[in-house]
Amino acid sequence: MPAHRAGRRLAVLLAATLAGAVPSAALAAGGSGTSTTPSGGVAPGALVPTQTHPRVPPPPSKRAHGAWLRRITITEYWPAPESWFRGKLVRAPGLPGEHRIDWLYSAEGVSMEGEGFGLDGRMYHIDSLGDGGWVTKSGKPTAAGDGFAAGAPYWRAGAFWRGPGGVVTFPLSAGGWANGAGGRYVPLPGVTFAPGASLPIRFYRSIAVDPRVIPLGSRVYIPAYRRDGYGGWFVAQDTGGAIQGHRIDVYRSPPRRPADGGQYLAGQSAFVIKPRS
């Protein structure tokens, strides 16, 4: 997998676990950060498709050349809007100008989502993750490989300062520090960002999958999203570190509020039509 894809929704994120640890405006806005709305394919407050599509494809027929997958867990991801973040503007390797530090390196920002909308409205993505993985808010290493058993990811394993007791802290745009005054700076060698999107994927049309379960290029019908304006049909175009097994991550537009963590739907079904070899 290319390096900039490895950051894509590394956690999806054990949605309940992350809610207690993230540094972004999502916590300041209140709420759990997780929607469990069971129908329609669009979380409350989402920027849903506004047009009626006259040729919405129907559900798969009984003669369709595909197979149903059961017990699928469905989550959602989107480009991280820089306007949701509160860190100080800093220079970023590979990008012009300055960007908010927590948008670049936190577990809610570009390093996790893979890409995001800058304050200028343009899309940017992480091009290389560099050295190191993730740390918790207390500064302890944690990894997706064991389900983040050491704690929810809070920040990349560098590009932060050690605060009181070794916690992760960073300077704020309004002045001061997020978690106490910073002392020693921890670098993050090798990380780079780049302008533009990382993949030609589309809102409510593209999904991230585990290619061992759903091959890339497959057409996938998800009944829970049949009212999304596109009949519930998607193309498997993306991957992610936490998208393993029977899990699908739906690419969507950012919610209106940072506290809206999107849908988390367990026990779902999906019909998969694999690409012709």
Q: What are the residue ranges spanned by the domains of the chain?
A: 3-27+79-195
Q: What is the pLDDT of residues 52-61, one digit of tens each?
A: 556 889 999 9
**DSSP element (H, E) containing 28:** helix 25-28
Average pLDDT for the chain: 84
Q: What is the DSSP string of 230-266?
A: STTEEEEEE--TT--SSEEEEE-PPPSSTT---B-EE
C-beta separation of 198 from 189 below 8 A: no
What distance in Å separates the CA atoms of residue 10 and residue 70, rounded to the nearest whole number? Answer: 23
Helix, strand, coil shares of the chain, percent, nearest 5, are 10, 30, 60
Q: What is the pLDDT of residues 147-188, one digit of tens each?
A: 899 999 999 999 999 999 999 999 999 999 999 999 999 999
Q: What percent of the chain lies above the pLDDT cut of 90?
A: 67
DSSP state for residue 275 in the 8-state scheme: P
Q: What is the pLDDT of residues 56-77, one digit of tens each?
A: 899 999 889 999 999 999 999 9
Residues 6+ apart with CB under 8 A from 250: 41, 74, 75, 76, 77, 204, 207, 222, 225, 234, 263
Longest dimension (CA), the chain: 65
What distance in Å separates the CA atoms of residue 36 and residue 70, rounded to the nearest whole number? Answer: 19
Residue 19 has pLDDT above 80, yes or no: no
Gyration radius from the chain CA atoms = 19
Q: What is the pLDDT of residues 104-132, one digit of tens each?
A: 999 999 999 899 999 999 999 999 999 88
